[in-house]
A and B are shown apart, each in its own frame.
Chain A
Amino acid sequence: MTSIHVTGLRVRHRRRLALDSVDLDLGTGVHGLLGPNGAGKTSLIRVLATVARPDAGRVELLGADVADPRGRAGVRRRLGYLPQEFGYYPGFTVREFVAYMAWLKEIPADRVPAAVARAVARVGLADRADAKVRTLSGGMVRRVGIAQAVVNDPEVLLLDEPTAGLDPEQRVEFRELLRELGASATVVVSTHLVEDVAAACTEVTLLEGGRIAYRGTPKSLTRLGESSGGPGDHPIERGYTAALRAHRTAERREALR
C-alpha cells in the first residue's frame, strides 16, 4: 500500500532550490534516504512531516492531501517525526516529555500512560523513565527523540539522522527497532551511514542536488557496486558512489543537450 505519494514536489530553502520535480511513492517498509550534504534530504523529510510548505507539487500522506487543513490534522495524528536538531525541555523527565508529546498528538488521555511506557521501553530507556532529560547522555536524548516519535504508533515515521550520536551497540539495537517498525509502518530514515541502510532498510532512495538520483534496494545498490569500479570500501559504498556519478553524468548530458 502506498502511504506516501509525492508528485512534482519543489521546495525552496533560503532562496535556494532544495528539491526540484521530485516524484516519490513509498509504502510499508524501511526506506533509506541517502545523499551528500545539501542534497535535499532534510527538506524532503520536513515537507513529509507537514512542517515545511512545498512551493509546488502535491504531497499525499495516508491518502490525504496535506495542503488541506482538515486532512493535515488527521495525518498528523498518525505521524511520527524526529528532526535532525531535536530540541527538548531539559527539566522534564523522560516520561513527562514523551507524555507531553502524546498529549500534543491527541492520544486519548486514558491511553497515554501505557503508550508512554511502551515507547520508552521500545528505545531501551525504561530504567531511566523518571530521570530528567538534562541528565541523559547525547545518545539517550536521541532515543528520547525516537520514543516521542513512536509514542502514537505512527503509520508514517520520519527520522532525520536518527543514528547520529548513537554508539555502535545502540545503532545495532536501533536497526532492530527500525526493522520491527517497518513491518507495519512506512518508515523514512535519512542517514549519512551507508551501512545503516544496508542493515536495516528494505528500499533505498538516493538524492542529489534536489533530485532523485537512484531508487532501488540495498541489494541492487550492492550489485551496482560490485559491477562498477567506483571508490568505496564496501560494495554498497561503491554502489552509492557509482549511482551518484551515473546521475551526475546524466544530468550533465541533459544540460548540454
Chain B
Amino acid sequence: MSDGNTHIWHVSAGRAARYADGTLPEPDTWSVEKHLEGCAGCASRVSAAVRGTAAGPVLAQVRDAVLARATPVPVPAVSRLARLLWAAGPAVRGAWPPAVLAVAVGALALSHGAGLPGARALLLAVAPVLPVAGVALSYGPAADPLYEVTAATPGGGLRLALVRTVAVLAVSLPLLTLAGLLLPASGAPAAVAWLLPGLALTLGTLALASFTGCRTAAGLTGGGWLCAVLAPVSAAPGGPLTARLAEQLGRCLDGTGTQGAWAAAAVLSAALLAARRPAYDRPFGR
C-alpha cells in the first residue's frame, strides 16, 4: 500500500461511530476518508457503523431498488413445438401436408371403398412427385415470404433448404409408404420401392435448383418422372390402364439393378448439391 498513513493508524470503532453520526471534526473526516480508499478492513468497519445510523434503512431501500432494476427478468424461452415449426418451413405449415394426406387417403379409398385394383400403382406413380413439390413450396423467393430477409443471414442458404427438405421427407415418406403397404399389390411393385427414387428426385431437385430456382427444378424432376411413367402407358396397347401402369412402374422400380441406379442417382445428386453449395449462399430465381 502506497498510502503513507496506512501503517500509522486504523479507524477505531469509536472513531467510525463518530464519523457515521457526523460528530467527527472535519479535518479528521478527511483523513478517515483518505485512509478508507486504501484499507478494506476499516472501510467495512465504517460501513457497518453507517448502517447502524438513521441512514441505514434508506441505504438498504436504495440497494433493493437498484437490484430489482438490475436483475434480469426471467425471459420465456421459445417452446419446443415452435422450434419444430421453424424447421418445417412454409410447405409443412401450409396446404402441402393436407395434399399428401389426401393422396394417401384417396388411394386407400379407391382401393377399399371403390374396389379399384390398381390403387397401389397409382399411388406409386404419384408418390415421388410429392416430396419434390414439397421442396418447391419450401424454399426460394416464390415460396417463402421471408426469403429476402433470410438471404441476408448466414443460416439462410443450403442449411435452411436442407432442414426444410428433411421436414418434407419426414412427413411424406412414412405416410405414403404406410398407405402403400395397406393396399393390395395387384401386380404393382412393393410399397417401399419408391423410397430411393423419391430421395433421388428430391436431391436432384435441390441440386438443379441451384441453377434454375426451386420451382423450375421441381417442374423438371417431377415432370420428368411423370413423363417416364405415364407416357409409355398411354402409348402402349391393350389391357386395363392400371395393369399397364403397374407393368411400367415395374420397369422403373423393380429389380436390384434399377434400385441400384436410383441409389447412384441419389448419391450423384448429393455430390452435385454439395459442389453447388455457394449458389445457395446467394439468392437465386430472381
Contacts and interface: CB of A to CB of B under 8 A. Distances in A.
Interface of A: 49-53, 69, 72-74, 76-77, 79, 81-83, 85-89, 91-92, 95-96, 99-101, 103-106, 112-114, 116-117, 130, 148
A113 B90 contact: no
22 contacts: A51-B151, A51-B283, A52-B283, A53-B282, A73-B154, A73-B281, A77-B154, A86-B149, A87-B147, A89-B90, A91-B93, A95-B76, A96-B78, A96-B86, A99-B78, A104-B154, A104-B156, A105-B154, A105-B155, A116-B75, A116-B78, A148-B149
Interface of B: 72-73, 75-78, 82, 85-86, 90, 93, 144-156, 160, 278, 281-283
Nearest to B277: A69
Contacts of A117: 73, 75
B146 A89 contact: yes
Given A74-B154, A92-B82, A112-B78, 20 more contacts: A50-B151, A51-B283, A53-B282, A76-B153, A76-B154, A87-B144, A89-B145, A89-B146, A92-B85, A96-B78, A96-B82, A96-B85, A103-B155, A104-B150, A106-B154, A113-B76, A113-B78, A116-B75, A116-B78, A117-B73
A87 B90 CA distance: 12
Contacts of A77: 154
B148 A69 contact: no
A71 to B, nearest CB: 11
A243 B203 CA distance: 54
Nearest to B145: A87
A87 B152 contact: no
Nearest to B153: A104
A69 B155 contact: no
Contacts of B149: 81-83, 86-87, 101, 148
A22 B151 CA distance: 23
A77 B156 CA distance: 11
A73 B157 CA distance: 10
Contacts of A83: 148-149
B93 to A, nearest CB: 7
B144 to A, nearest CB: 8
B93 A51 contact: no
A207 B86 CA distance: 38
